[in-house]
Structure 1
């Protein structure tokens, strides 16, 4: 095998100034070690797990009113290990540790509308909103949710809610009312924050009607708080107990925040699975686990410092929004961008990066491919001298995508490709500012994450496609699923294939020469066009309402460095799949779900594969379309239908 040549290697100066180097030196002093490389540190972090997480706690300076009794009660209980029992802390307090005149938030809308807020102003505003929530009767454990764009008010609402110990959940306004209700309605929130509309591609989308539909369908709501962003100031009488944000915000000035001191594993976020087999699962995540892991990833892996300005192209439906907001814990300036990143032209975000001296820029693989397809060279058009890191996630990026970043954006930067999941609001694989970058490879497993690649026999393998697993507990793993009292859904989601080992559902290759990781997409039925997680059930729920459609099957096909949705439909008698029906299907999904749910290809099928207990099997067809073996034919009630998908595979490869 020819020796790989790195695309980038950090300078000695960069290594010496990196936060991870300071962390390693502290570990060496505390534990009498002499670690000099990332891999020394990584191997120790997964062999001495309690000592590692204790070192992270101290390094990122977790604020706790009561110290922990022990780091973890039992590492052999997986799932079920309890982290930092005895500790009392507050999630929001750790993100609001700074109260000075440095800029905390810059909001930049697609309309070029800009606002800034200092750390002092942020603290004061969160205190006012928290006071209003307390007066309403919001208590620890209550749910507060957002159906919002990526606004300052969205982040302020999350911080205010979690300062009280309420549990936050959110989804963006670009998903339809039913999809939002399938998520937010399940958790029975007490308060909903929403908005009158949003901007996308230069157009105003009046989303208030969707908000009305969602709010009316959730009987647990005591208050609906409406932010005016699109400037329409709609009539609020259509929603019971609705109030404008500015009227809800307490008028009192100079309030001190009273941060509820709660156990390390007190819930902080409810994130949603993709809804592959019905309504999305609600993953309940603990305040301390999310906090310590996100600060580890931001401060140690991403080298985030007080003087940095960080931007991620994200919405509040995606875990990267939660991850981005935790940058407040490092005291950095957080840029909140809302809108289409390609508007008014494909170079728009790079002008923004230049004008606002962005140092850490987060983007998706699909965005990189779009830039490359446009033939853009942002590094030649704009002054990107401040940019020290690009963070990339969402879906796997090809080696050519990596090369494009270095040839056309900037030669000397840390390209930090990361991957993990909504499940843990963090990363299994991530970069390190002291390691080289190789084309198509994430640099390393995350510190403290005992990641392996398992074959079908549950054996760790190098240099071949296999399942990503994690062999040991880690603090950010979900506490439990909502409405799953005995933990059955939780165990089925992660532990049924390899008992006692977390199976994540990604195909990867772990490279023996570099120890880097290449991702090959999902091994389950989750669709990820442009990096956005979509459940197949969300598509079926709309398509199968049409009188023409008897059944449907949605598959994510990896193609040209991204993923596209291929929809197969079985027609009722008397109908044919002509252009008019295809357009009707697309329009239905666009209006009832979202534009991201619209398939790239629609084809007719004789039948969908089913198990004997009548579960639709997307994975078998996904494997066929990607040239992988189908290993569960015996579990199918009608395995003969797979012959059709094998026949049409060449047509879909064109």
Structure 2
């Protein structure tokens, strides 16, 4: 009989914020909710009571009170949360003002800069004054082309404090990728790095930035951060707007002021990956983002003011926005910029001991790569402070769960989490009060009516289907930019099941109340009419030591679909028939004959988005001779050519 990989002690459960919140709800409402399933059921059925409880538990400050909690129309997405309320997102992230470290920014080259909570507030106050003097106000856009470092956080907080709207891309984005995004939102101010470092190389961004500037006529001001390029000068940049170096643009000091805005006032503009067309500009509001993030970080992640939180991310991925929200709970954030494997595979693991990281966030790919590299942190590192590992970006293989508890640390909460840019948060995530079961995301998020539906729109358990959310939630996007009638927004999420959010994940609800994500719905394989999630195949292929990573697609073939698997192998390994047979046998032995690929083909690289997700749809389009739109959204677009006109796929 299967046993959980980890179970929290009664003492740990009682000390968790999740359990404190359960007791808070029971006392306030005269309830006897005994455990998490009961708490979750209440949070969904009584949303009008649950979300105000979050407001009070985390001491969210409204400048003007709400007329009610929720005003709903006849069907999603027609709803308004806390109508009449005003607040400011940045105010809550800057509540702590003492000398405790707020941000520790670490570069790949070993550089380290630290700001206390008091210093962070002083920097935000100074930049806020400079932005206001530059004419930035309510609804204006401030954009950043920046690495993950402290200046980026200061820029976001200063922007949000004024009621302006923040949007960021990381410096590894291509020119077209940046202009496809920022060109749509027409920023007034651009904060940009002069350069950055990655994999031991110093990369000068001057030429790329000049190309971008030519396509941003809306700019009123350019602020250059001489990051990794100390010699940067305003004269280097061909900007229609005045250019100023970061250190000359403002002087830190004083206390920041906060402009009260409506609950749904635009805080962030995030972007879809853009691999199937121009990126969608997804607008998220102050209130919904704040409430969802304090719930997820404070309750589901058990983050407190004594913790140190790390997440490996760039500023072009929503996990950066999620990470920065941790400031609302008063901890220390560790920001890392650079390759996670330079100069060696333990680079990020070293940070755990060096910075006393208690919550470590990463991707499924990183954990799999550590195991493939033979890294055993339990033997090489102390990891005394580490209490939780968070993982997202793609489904975490069952074997990676085993690896973490065997070779990293047996006593920690491994939380595989899943959500997305679309909701700037999660549908399913971790829980410090619940056991961890192999291969499962621990639970549905509080207040989120997450279900798995079949094609007929019926809920299913222990079976695969579409992940949906059947009731409105506060972090649903305010809408898409330049989509006045909401047509594009409704088409993106509500066409599959009218009035119900369909997230595009192929999932399964387990007997433990957890979830398994089997891949993206649009990447589902369909040989002989049987739906197969790509993650089911990847999980097995990762067991083969010679394989570093893989990507599977369905190829239209002779009136049906055949499964094609592409594999990237270890250096010096060539795909021969014995290895093909081994790969097929591992898949067959652990899944079904339908999962076994008809073709197994070696490739030198696998295309992925800038946030590290492999792109099955782009490969499928190339294989079928269809165009791939907006390849600038890819980190390695040249890899697509490896899949074009392959002789093996013509027979």
The alignment's TM-score, normalised by the length of structure 2, stands at 0.83
CA 1:439–1:262 in structure 2 vs 1: closer, same or farther (change >3 Å)? same
Q: Who is 2:302 aligned against?
A: 303
Write the deviation string for residues 475-518 of structure 1: whole angstroms up to 9, x where unpaired: 0010110111111100100000100100000000101x211100
CA 1:564–1:213 in structure 2 vs 1: closer, same or farther (change >3 Å)? farther
- Counterpart of 1:150 (choices 148, 162, 165) is 148
Q: Who is 1:632 aligned against?
A: none
CA 1:601–1:300 in structure 2 vs 1: closer, same or farther (change >3 Å)? closer
The aligned length equals 572
Which aligned pairs between 1:179-198 and structure 2 lie closer than 5 A?
Answer: 179-198=177-196
Which aligned pairs between 1:219-238 and structure 2 lie closer than 5 A?
Answer: 219-237=217-235, 238=237
Task: Say if 2:199 and 2:338, in contact at 8 Å, map to a contact too.
Answer: yes
Q: What RMSD in Å do the two structures reach over aligned CA positions?
A: 3.1
Q: Who is 1:426 aligned against?
A: 425
Task: Indicate whether 1:564 and 2:562 are aligned.
Answer: no
Q: Who is 1:546 aligned against?
A: none
Q: Who is 1:483 aligned against?
A: 482
CA 1:601–1:288 in structure 2 vs 1: closer, same or farther (change >3 Å)? closer
Q: Who is 1:347 aligned against?
A: 346
Deviation at 1:69, TM superposition (A): 1.5
Q: Who is 1:134 aligned against?
A: 132
Deviation at 1:274, TM superposition (A): 1.6
Q: Who is 2:592 aligned against?
A: none
Deviation at 1:558, TM superposition (A): 5.9
In structure 2, what is the Cα distance between the partners aligned to 1:216 and 1:233? 22
Which aligned pairs between 1:144-543 and structure 2 lie closer than 5 A?
Answer: 144-237=142-235, 238-240=237-239, 241-251=241-251, 254-511=253-510, 513-524=511-522
Task: Say if 1:360 and 1:389, in contact at 8 Å, map to a contact too.
Answer: yes
Deviation at 1:196, TM superposition (A): 1.1
Write the deviation string for residues 230-254 of structure 1: whole angstroms up to 9, x where unpaired: 1242343332234343344323x54
In structure 1, what is the Cα distance between the partners aligned to 2:46 and 2:517? 27
SS in 1 for 2:257: coil
Gaps of 5+ in 2: 525-533, 543-548, 557-602, 631-644
In structure 1, what is the Cα distance between the partners aligned to 2:311 and 2:486? 34
Write the deviation string for residues 288-329 of structure 1: whole angstroms up to 9, x where unpaired: 000000010000110000000000000000000000000100
SS in 2 for 1:55: helix
In structure 2, what is the Cα distance between the partners aligned to 1:221 and 1:54? 40
SS in 2 for 1:383: coil
Task: Say if 1:122 and 1:156, in contact at 8 Å, map to a contact too.
Answer: yes
SS in 1 for 2:268: strand
SS in 2 for 1:178: helix
SS in 1 for 2:63: strand
Q: Who is 1:90 aligned against?
A: 88
CA 1:211–1:11 in structure 2 vs 1: closer, same or farther (change >3 Å)? same
CA 1:124–1:46 in structure 2 vs 1: closer, same or farther (change >3 Å)? same
CA 1:593–1:450 in structure 2 vs 1: closer, same or farther (change >3 Å)? closer
Gaps of 5+ in 1: 527-554, 570-584, 617-643
Deviation at 1:355, TM superposition (A): 1.3
In structure 2, what is the Cα distance between the partners aligned to 1:369 and 1:489? 37
Deviation at 1:467, TM superposition (A): 0.5
